[in-house]
Amino acid sequence: MRAVLMGNPNVGKSVIFNRLTGVKVVVSNYPGTTIEYLEGIMRVNGVKLKVVDAPGTYSLIPSDKAEEVALNLLLRKQTDLIINVVDATNLERNLYLTLQLREINIPMILDLNMIDAARHRGIEIDVSLMEKLLKLPIVCTVAVSGEGIKELYQLIKEFVVGKGKES
């Protein structure tokens, strides 16, 4: 199984990636480009889940090479799960990509990261309303402190277990 971390630049994808994966991380250049991406392995319920840290992107209609690589990492291989990391202090801009990702019908978890900064600025997010409107499982995280990572892991586990029952 393969999961891809998608999100705008600077939302905390790489910190999340590091928290989810082990020490064996492979850095690769996307073929034919100088754009780097990371791959690591996560073990969930005895299942090996490959996790890809894609370059930051604002849209699925690429406007530069990095965005093109992110799109290719998502669509050129089988992607079983998207982990869409967003900056909770900037939902309006970040959800633009979320809505596009939702359209491609790959199972997705929405990670509202930087929830510490959002709290600090007095931004209140009605997570259960968002879950209903977007029809996505949502988790709030502070990647740098580890807050919410257990809950994110739990959502990934629920996906993996559900997927196992399918086949």
Ligand X SMILES: Nc1nc2c(ncn2[C@@H]2O[C@H](COP(=O)(O)OP(=O)(O)O)[C@@H](O)[C@H]2O)c(=O)[nH]1
How many chain residues interact with ligand X (CB under 6 A)? 16
User: Distance between CA 108 and CA 120 in Å, rounded?
Assistant: 27
Site for ligand X (CB under 6 A): which residue of 1, 54, 110, 114? 114
Taking CB under 5 A as the rule, which mask of x and - marks residues 8-27 in contact with Mg ion? -----xx-------------
Site for ligand X (CB under 6 A): which residue of 3, 15, 60, 160? 15
Beta-strand pair 47-53/36-44: antiparallel
| Residue at token pair 């586990």 | 157
Q: Which does 11 bind (CB under 5 to 8 A by kind): Mg ion, ligand X, none?
A: ligand X
Residue pair 87/121 in contact (Cβ under 8 Å)? The answer is no
The piece of 7-15, 26-34, 38-46, 121-129 that touches ligand X (CB under 6 A) is: 7-15
**Residues 27, 30, 34: CA angle, nearest 5 degrees:** 90
The least CB distance from residue 113 to Mg ion, in Å, is 12
User: Distance between CA 100 and CA 84 in Å, rounded?
Assistant: 11
State yes or no: residue 144 binds ligand X (CB under 6 A): yes
What six digits make up the tokens of 123?
A: 């931004």
Provide the binding-site residues for ligand X, judged by CB under 6 A.
7, 9-15, 56, 113-114, 116-117, 142-144
